């Protein structure tokens, strides 16, 4: 059974990208074979496609950490042929052949049944980025954040995680401050629901100060580095920051004063190894009380246009969500 796939090949000159025909016999062992209808482009796919060894070590490789499709073979009774399913995270697209292809084969433990309310398409407008935005908000709310806590800062706001976070927080009644490096995307951010827009420089200023004025009732941080550190120092008393990303770098300075004097929380967020029942719970929220229209965030990609999208996401120039149409 042949199918089309995006492939990264390691050569002496670097990592080459192409669209090839593969056979399902070449896919890894697994319980469930899925006919993939949609995938989505995430920052991590850019890292995989350029040979980042923390993401992918084995080449040739098909990236794609997200997939939504229909089960066409299953040897596990928990997953039935004909079911619509979502697979995100675990090893998909890292060292397991990923969602930038019309077929994947994965363990049954990675497969989430599509909740009523979402479709194959809408689940991939969300994808890992949107799921992670929801996971950040879920974690902040479980730590006590409510709309009355104060404005919520979203960093990297025009990106995948950021743009979904802005829309979702606005839908939930929060005042949202969007931090962005893109001066030409303010209208886009206001349309998502941002009530205030600040620049990356605004939120990176004052790094040398031990504390900054109390400003945020919560923070969804997708960038790390000085911006994360400053945002922690600007949290209101008892509030929290959910850290999920590292586009500005994995390191950050720290001092204990915000924690000792303002009782704030720094919360880690991982969507990859999150257990399947937790994944299903968050997808369930996104299909019900957190169901929002994200169609205006979509940029349609396919296997042929994916390479150019990868270059843009690595340059920090992507806006919204790139959805890969595989049919």
Ligand X SMILES: NC(=O)c1ccc[n+]([C@@H]2O[C@H](COP(=O)([O-])OP(=O)(O)OC[C@H]3O[C@@H](n4cnc5c(N)ncnc54)[C@H](OP(=O)(O)O)[C@@H]3O)[C@@H](O)[C@H]2O)c1
Which of the stretches 8-16, 40-48, 114-122, 297-305 binds ligand X when contact is defined by CB under 6 A? 40-48
Closer of 251 and 327 to ligand X (Cβ): 251
- In the list 248, 294, 301, 323, the residue contacting ligand X (rule: CB under 6 A) is 248
Closest to 35 (Cα-Cα) out of 77, 92, 84, 76: 84
Give Cα separations from 13 to 9, 26, 45, 50, 269 (angstroms). 10, 25, 20, 12, 36
- State the nearest-atom distance from the C-beta of 258 to ligand X, in Å: 21
Q: Residues 294-313 vs ligand X: string with x where CB under 6 A? A: -------------------x
The H or E element containing residue 162 is helix 160-171
Closer of 25 and 184 to ligand X (Cβ): 184
Give Cα separations from 195 to 104, 175, 320, 324 (angstroms). 41, 6, 18, 30
Burial of 54 (0-12, 13-18, 19+ CB in 10 A): exposed
**Residues from 182 through 221 that contact ligand X (CB under 6 A):** 182, 200
- State the nearest-atom distance from the C-beta of 100 to ligand X, in Å: 15
Q: Residues 146-185 vs ligand X: string with x where CB under 6 A? A: ----------xxxxxxx-----------------xxx---
Work out whether 36 is an interface residue with ligand X (CB under 6 A). Answer: no
**Residues from 117 through 146 that contact ligand X (CB under 6 A):** 128-129, 132
Strand residues in the chain grouped as ranges (E): 2-11, 14-23, 32-41, 66-74, 84-88, 103-106, 112-113, 152-155, 176-180, 196-199, 216-221, 235-243, 265-268, 298-301, 321-325
Work out whether 279 is an interface residue with ligand X (CB under 6 A). Answer: no
Closer of 78 and 281 to ligand X (Cβ): 281
Closest to 152 (Cα-Cα) out of 143, 138, 140: 140
Tokens, residue 319 = 């806006």
139, 267 in Cβ contact below 8 A?
Answer: yes
Which of the stretches 14-22, 76-84, 206-214, 238-246 binds ligand X when contact is defined by CB under 6 A? 238-246
**Which residue of the chain is nearest ligand X when measured via CB?**
159
- State the nearest-atom distance from the C-beta of 102 to ligand X, in Å: 23
Please tell me the count of residues contacting ligand X according to CB under 6 A. 31
Closest to 179 (Cα-Cα) out of 162, 151, 157, 159: 157
- In the list 271, 283, 292, 294, the residue contacting ligand X (rule: CB under 6 A) is 271
| Residue ranges that bind ligand X, judged by CB under 6 A | 42-44, 128-129, 132, 156-162, 180-182, 200, 222-223, 244-248, 269-272, 313, 316, 318
């Amino acid at each position: 059974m042949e199918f089309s796939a995006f492939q990264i090949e390691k050569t002496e000159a670097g990592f080459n990208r192409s669209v090839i025909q593969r056979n399902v016999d070449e896919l890894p062992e697994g319980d469930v074979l899925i006919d993939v209808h949609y995938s989505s482009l995430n920052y991590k796919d850019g890292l995989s496609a350029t040979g980042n060894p923390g993401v992918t070590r084995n080449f040739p490789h098909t990236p794609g950490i997200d997939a939504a499709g229909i089960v066409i073979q299953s040897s596990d009774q928990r997953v039935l042929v004909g079911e619509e399913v979502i697979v995100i995270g675990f090893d998909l697209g890292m060292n397991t052949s990923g969602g930038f292809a019309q077929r994947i084969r994965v363990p049954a433990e990675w497969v989430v049944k599509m909740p009523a309310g979402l479709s194959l398409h809408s689940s991939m407008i969300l994808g890992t980025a949107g799921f992670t935005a929801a996971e950040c908000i879920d974690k902040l709310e479980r730590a006590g954040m409510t709309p009355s806590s104060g404005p919520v800062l979203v960093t990297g706001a025009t990106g995948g995680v950021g743009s979904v976070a802005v829309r979702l927080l606005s839908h939930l009644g929060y005042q949202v401050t969007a931090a962005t490096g893109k001066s030409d995307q303010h209208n886009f951010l206001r349309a998502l629901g941002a009530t205030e827009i600040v620049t990356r420089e605004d939120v990176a200023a004052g790094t040398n100060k031990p504390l900054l004025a109390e400003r945020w009732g919560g923070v969804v941080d997708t960038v790390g580095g000085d911006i994360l550190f400053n945002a922690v120092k600007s949290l209101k008393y008892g509030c929290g920051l959910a850290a999920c990303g590292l586009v500005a770098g994995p390191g950050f300075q720290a001092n204990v004063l915000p924690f000792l004097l303002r009782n704030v929380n720094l919360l880690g967020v991982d969507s990859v190894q999150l257990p399947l029942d937790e994944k299903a719970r968050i997808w369930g929220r996104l299909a019900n009380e957190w169901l929002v229209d994200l169609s205006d965030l979509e940029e349609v990609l396919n296997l042929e246009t994916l390479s150019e999208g990868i270059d843009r996401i690595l340059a920090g120039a992507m806006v919204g969500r790139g959805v890969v149409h595989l049919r």
